[in-house]
Chain A
Amino acid sequence: MAMDIADRDRPYVGRATVAVVGNPNTGKTTLFNALTGLSQRVGNFPGVTVERKVGQLALPDVGAIDLLDLPGTYSLSAKSPDELIAVEALMGVLKSESTIQAVLVVLDASNLRRSLYIVSQLLEIDLPLVVALNMLDVAKARGIVIDAPTLSEHLGVPVIPIQANKRVGLDELKDALSRVVEKGKVPSRSPLLSQSWWIEAEQLARKYEGVSTGLVLRVLIDNQNALASHVVERFGDDFTADLHVLRAQVNVDDALANREIELRYRWIDEALDDVLRDPEPLRVTRSDRLDRFLTHPIWGSLSFAVIMAFVFQSIFSWAVPLMDSIDALFGVVGGWASGYLPEGALQSMVVDGVIAGVGGVVIFLPQICILFLFIAILEDCGYMARAALLMDRLLTPCGLSGKSFIPLLSSFACAIPGVMATRTINDPKDRIATMLVAPLMSCSARLPVYAIFIGAFIPNQNVWGGIGLQGLTLFALYCVGIFVAIPVAWILKKTLLRGQPTPFLLELPSYKIPDVGTVGMRIYQSGRHFLERAGTLILAATIVMWALAYFPRSETITAHYESERERLVGAPEEVLDGLRAKEAGEMLRQSFLGRMGHAIEPVVEPLGWDWRIGMAALASFPAREVIVAVLGTIYSLGEVDEESASLRDELRSATWSDGRKVFNIPVALSIMVFFALCAQCVSTLAVIQRETGAWRWPVLTFVYMTMLAYIGAFVTYRLGMALGSG
C-alpha cells in the first residue's frame, strides 16, 4: 500500500472514516488486518476512555481514509459493554473527531440468515452500507449457494463476495467503498418502519445537536436498553419528553421491541427466498466431528491440559537459541561500551544500568513472541470458545461463567487487554469479579522472571516423553494463579459482588486454519509493545535503581582499597580480582540502595530472600519485569568480571556475607510464587480503575494480591526447606 508516513500522523479531521461491523467470528479482524496492515493504531474516543482501533486504507479516487474496527455484535440492541461501544459509535453517541461516513458490514456466508439480522437494523441508521460477504469458500464446501447480485438488489446496498483470509475480492470491495464514500447516504429501505415514522424521526433529530434519525428510530423501537438510558442522560429531559410524544404519535408500544425480532426475520426470510439455497442446514460438519472429541467431558478436558502443557514447554525449548544470540549481542555491545566510554559514572550507567538491566529484559522477546504465537493460533482457529465451554463447569461453582474464561486467558498474555476483554461479560458483577482476578493469571511480563529463575535453578531433566522439569515448573506456576483465583472469585461473588448466577451463551465458530496475517499481526504488536515498555518504563526504573545502587561514592572505601592495591603491587591477578570484588561489594552495601535494603531485610528474610532480592522485588511494583533488570544491575555493580557473565551465572554464584549461597531451589520458588501472585503492575491497576470507574476496586486488587503473594512466598519457602532437609 503506497501510504505516506507523514500522512499517518495527520489528525483525523477532514478524512473520511468507515466503520467495520459484523457478528463475532465473521472474519472481521482478518479483513481489517488485510485492508490496513501495519498502519493500524489504537487510541481512544475523545473524552472517554474507550479504545478505538483505527487503520488506514487508500481508496481509488478518494485517497486515504480511516477504517475503524468496532467490536463484534449480533444486534444493535446491545447486551454487553463491548456491543454498546459498537452501537454508540455507529449512532454517533460516542463522539469522534471524525464522524463515520459509511459502514462496512462483514457477513459470514455460511451463516447468512443470522448475519442479516444486524444488516436489517443497519439499514435504518443514517449511513450508507457496503456488505462484504465473507467465507464463501466455507459456504460452498457445505453445498450452500448464494446469489450475491440478487441479495444486493433486495438490500439496496452493494454486496461484495470476498475471502478475507486469501485476500480475494479486496479490490472490488475498495471500489465499492469509494463509490459509497463519494456518493454519501442512499435512500433507506427499512424492513420494519413506515415512511411516516422516518419523517417524524428526522424532524425530531433535527432539533437536537448530535442526534441522528437512526438514533431516534433505534430508541423509539427499543427503549429498554443501555443505549436508551445513555441517550436520555446525554440529551436531557426535553429529548425524552419529545421522544415520548413521538412514541404516542406513531403508536409504538413496548410489544414492538419483542415483535422487532420476528418482523425482521420475516423480512430476512423473504429476502433470502431467491438468494440462498442450503440443501441440508443440519449437516454434520468436520467441526462437529472434531468437537465430539474436543468438547467431550473427559477427552476434551484432557486435550485442553495437553495443549496447555505443550504451549508452556515450547515457550522454553524453542526460545533458547534465539535468546542465546540476543544475549551474545548484548555482551558484545556491553564490551564495546566499556571500551569506548571513559571509566566512571557514565560508563557504569550505560554498562551496569542500561545494558545489564534493560538487556536482561529484552532477552525474553523470543519467549513473548512464542507465547503470543500460540495465543493467536488458538484464538484464530476457533478453539478458545471450546475451552470456554469446558471451563464453564469449573467457573460456575465460583460464581462466574465461561464468558469470564476468554478475558482470563487473555490475561495470560497481559492483564490490560484481559481487563478490557471483560466488556463481553453482560453481568456487571461478574465483570468486576473477573477483572479482580484477571491479574492473578501469569502474564507475559512474569515470563522473564520465571524464565531466569527456572533456567538458573531448576534442573533441565526430561520427565516424560519430551516434557521437561523446567516446562512443568513453568506450567505449575501458571496453575498457582488459577488455583488462587478460584477461591478469590468465589469469595467476591459471595460477599461484595453477590448476585444471581447469570446465563452463559457463547457461539462455537467452525474450526479454521489460522490466518497467517492475523497471527503475524498479533505477534508483531505484542513484540513491539514489549520492546516499547523495555525502552521506556523499564529503562527509567533501571536508571533510577542504578543511581540508588551507585551513589553515594565513598571516598574512604576508594582510598582504603587504593592503598591496599599499592601494598599488593605485583600480586597475582586472582588476588587483585578478589580485592576489586570486595571493594565493589562494600560500595554497594553503603549505597542508598544498600542502606534501604538492610532496612527491609527483616521483612523479606522469612521468605528466604537477601536484601538484594528484597530491593529488586520492591522496585518491581510499578512493573514486574523490572526485577530482572534490577538484579542485572545490582549483580553487575556488586561483582567485578571483565567477561560480563550472564545474570543466570551471577545468581548461581551469589552468596550471603557468611559465604552461604543466597539461592537454592526453595528461594527461587519463593520468589517466583511471590511474583505469580503479586499486583506488580501500575498499568493494570489503572485500567481496572478506568473500566470500573471506582478507585476501590484497584485498591482492593492491590491489597489482596500483595498479601497473598507474601503468604504464598513464605509457605513455599518453608515447605521447600522442610522437604529439602527432610
Chain B
Amino acid sequence: MAYATEDATPLSIWGRGDEGTIEGISGANQLAARLREIGAMPGVPVRVLRVGSTVVIQVGSSRFCLRKTDAACIKGMKAA
C-alpha cells in the first residue's frame, strides 16, 4: 500500500492504543540517535500505550517512556 508522506503525524498527538508504523525520526541530537539505535527505524510497528506529559510507546517489541514534547520528533503512519 502506498502512503503519502503528508499523512505521517507526530506520535505526540496519537491517542492511547493507536498503532501504526514509524515513518522517520527528525533531528540529529542524541535522543534521535538513541531512538534509532533502539530500533525506531522506518517501517517498524509502533503503538502508543500511555498518553500524558510522559508517553509510553511500543517500538517493535520494546516499550519506552519519553516526554510528550520529545515524542513529537517521531513521525508515524497511523493504521486505519
The residues of A with any CB-CB pair to B shorter than 8 Å are 74-75, 77, 79, 110-111, 113-114, 117, 142, 144, 258, 261-262, 265, 278, 281-282, 287-288, 291, 295, 297, 385, 388-389, 392-393, 396, 401-402, 426, 503-509
Q: Is B5 an interface residue (CB 8 A)?
A: no
Q: How far, in whole Å, are A110 and B37 apart by their CA atoms in the complex?
A: 17
Determine how close the nearest CB of chain B comes to the CB of A693; give it in whole angstroms: 22
**What does the 1/0 interface line of B47-60 toward A look like (CB < 8 Å)?**
10110111010101
Residues on B with beta carbons closer than 8 Å to the beta carbon of A261 = 33, 36-37, 41
Determine how close the nearest CB of chain B comes to the CB of A192; give it in whole angstroms: 14
CB contact between A505 and one of B35, B41, B50, B53 (< 8 Å): that residue: B35
How big is chain B's contact interface, by range? Answer: 20 to 34
Q: How far, in whole Å, are A411 and B43 apart by their CA atoms in the complex?
A: 41
Q: How far, in whole Å, are A426 and B29 apart by their CA atoms in the complex?
A: 12
The 8 closest A-B pairs by CB, nearest first: A503-B31, A508-B63, A114-B39, A261-B36, A75-B37, A389-B65, A503-B70, A505-B66
Q: How far, in whole Å, are A117 and B60 apart by their CA atoms in the complex?
A: 14
Residues on B with beta carbons closer than 8 Å to the beta carbon of A297 = 52
Ordered by A's residue number, 24 sampled pairs between the chains whose C-beta atoms are within 8 Å are A74-B34, A74-B38, A77-B33, A79-B30, A79-B34, A114-B60, A117-B39, A258-B28, A261-B36, A262-B41, A265-B41, A282-B58, A392-B65, A393-B52, A393-B54, A396-B67, A401-B67, A505-B31, A505-B35, A506-B65, A507-B62, A508-B63, A508-B64, A508-B65
Determine how close the nearest CB of chain A comes to the CB of B65; give it in whole angstroms: 5
Does A504 lie within 8 Å of B66, measured CB to CB?
Answer: yes
Q: How far, in whole Å, are A506 and B62 apart by their CA atoms in the complex?
A: 11
Q: How far, in whole Å, are A438 and B73 apart by their CA atoms in the complex?
A: 32
Does B34 lie within 8 Å of A392, measured CB to CB?
Answer: no
Instruction: Decide yes or no: A402 and B54 within 8 Å by CB, A110-B61, A281-B60, A503-B67 being known contacts.
Output: yes
The residues of B with any CB-CB pair to A shorter than 8 Å are 19, 28-31, 33-39, 41, 45, 47, 49-50, 52-54, 56, 58, 60-67, 70
Residues on B with beta carbons closer than 8 Å to the beta carbon of A388 = 65
Does B61 lie within 8 Å of A278, measured CB to CB?
Answer: yes
Nearest B residue to A118 via CB reads B37
Determine how close the nearest CB of chain B comes to the CB of A403; give it in whole angstroms: 11
Nearest B residue to A506 via CB reads B65
Residues on B with beta carbons closer than 8 Å to the beta carbon of A504 = 54, 65-67, 70
Instruction: Decide yes or no: A392 and B39 within 8 Å by CB, A278-B61, A503-B66, A506-B64 being known contacts.
Output: no
Instruction: Decide yes or no: A291 and B52 within 8 Å by CB, A503-B31, A508-B63 being known contacts.
Output: no
Nearest B residue to A112 via CB reads B61
Instruction: Decide yes or no: A113 and B31 within 8 Å by CB, A288-B49, A504-B66 being known contacts.
Output: no
Residues on A with beta carbons closer than 8 Å to the beta carbon of B64 = 505-508
Instruction: Decide yes or no: A114 and B35 within 8 Å by CB, A262-B41, A281-B45 being known contacts.
Output: no
Does A389 lie within 8 Å of B37, measured CB to CB?
Answer: no
Residues on B with beta carbons closer than 8 Å to the beta carbon of A401 = 67
Does B39 lie within 8 Å of A393, measured CB to CB?
Answer: no
Q: How far, in whole Å, are A509 and B38 apart by their CA atoms in the complex?
A: 13
Q: How far, in whole Å, are A402 and B65 apart by their CA atoms in the complex?
A: 10
CB contact between A114 and one of B38, B49, B70 (< 8 Å): that residue: B38
Determine how close the nearest CB of chain B comes to the CB of A393; give it in whole angstroms: 6
Determine how close the nearest CB of chain B comes to the CB of A387; give it in whole angstroms: 11
Instruction: Decide yes or no: A282 and B38 within 8 Å by CB, A114-B62, A258-B28 being known contacts.
Output: no
Q: How far, in whole Å, are A506 and B50 apart by their CA atoms in the complex?
A: 14
Determine how close the nearest CB of chain A comes to the CB of B73; give it in whole angstroms: 9
Does B60 lie within 8 Å of A426, measured CB to CB?
Answer: no
Q: How far, in whole Å, are A147 and B28 apart by their CA atoms in the complex?
A: 36
Known: A79-B30, A258-B28, A507-B38. 6 other contacts (CB 8 A): A288-B58, A288-B63, A291-B56, A392-B65, A401-B67, A503-B31
Q: How far, in whole Å, are A79 and B58 apart by their CA atoms in the complex?
A: 21
Q: How far, in whole Å, are A278 and B30 apart by their CA atoms in the complex?
A: 30
Does B37 lie within 8 Å of A392, measured CB to CB?
Answer: no
